[in-house]
Every structure is written in C-alpha cells, then in structure tokens.
Amino acid sequence: MGVLVAISIPIFTSQLEKAREATDLANVRSAYAEVQTAVLTKSTQADLTKENNDYITLTGDPDTMAYSAEVKLTQQKPGWDTTDAGKAVAGITSSGSPSKSGKATITYDDSTGATAIKYE
C-alpha cells in the first residue's frame, strides 16, 4: 500500500500542476477575447468593471483606445510544464515567462493595432 501511495503522489501533483496551467492558459485566452471585445465595442470603464471576475481585471478608456487585462496565474511552478501551454495565444508570441502565482498582462496598442501578452 505504501509503495502505491509513494508512486501516486508525484503523478497526482504533476497532473494538478498541468490542470493549473491549463486553467491559466484558458484565463489568458479569455482575457485576450475580453480586450478585443472592449476594443471593438469601445467599452467604457463602467462596462468593463461589471464583467470582471476573480482572476481577470480589465481596464480601458474608449477615448484613447487603451485597453488592458491582468490575469492572476494559479500555477505553482515557474515556466510552463506542458508542451502546448507555451504556445502563442491567438497567434501572439508572448514575452516573459510565467512565475509561481504570477500574472499575465494583455494590452492593446491603438497606434499599432497590436495586442501584446506579457508574463511575469
């Protein structure tokens, strides 16, 4: 029984971390979609605030077309463990590497029309 427990604990923790990374990546994709929606609809800060949840904070100004979202990461290891987690979100190559319980920032730059994702 002890051998089975000793074998299963590392497997369980590895799978738990992969699940956290998948959640983080899904939240980053969701935040990206929220930023793009805010840009297209020229949402006001009052509109954005009511849409926020516990992991994503969206801010913006329709006059300057400056929108950004911050995502709290839940993973407990720095970097990405899973092979597909580091792939670009919506074709955007990100900068930085996720840190333990760090954050991801998605920003839209109106002058270039580009969206950037930065991990900290």
| Domain extent for 32 | 2-119
Residue 46 has pLDDT above 80, yes or no: no
Q: How many domains is the chain built from? A: 1
| Average pLDDT in the chain | 83
Q: How confident is the model at residue 105 (pLDDT cuts 50, 70, 90)?
A: very high
Distance CA 105, CA 16 (A): 24
Q: Is the pLDDT of residue 15 over 80?
A: yes
3-state per-residue secondary structure call for the chain: CHHHHHHHHHHHHHHHHHHHHHHHHHHHHHHHHHHHHHHHHCCCHHHHHHHCCCCEEEEEECCCCEEEEEEECCCCCCCCCCCCCCCCECCECCECCCCCCCEEEEEEECCCCEEEEEEC
Q: pLDDT value at position 2?
A: 87
Q: Can you give the pLDDT at residue 87?
A: 60
Task: Report d(CA 77, CA 37) in Å as an integer.
Answer: 31
Bridge partner residues of 67 (DSSP) = 60, 108
Once rounded to an integer, what is the mean pLDDT over residues 50-75?
82
Strands 66-72 and 103-109: antiparallel
Whether 86 shows a pLDDT value over 80: the answer reads: no
pLDDT at 113 over 70: yes
pLDDT for 10 equals 85
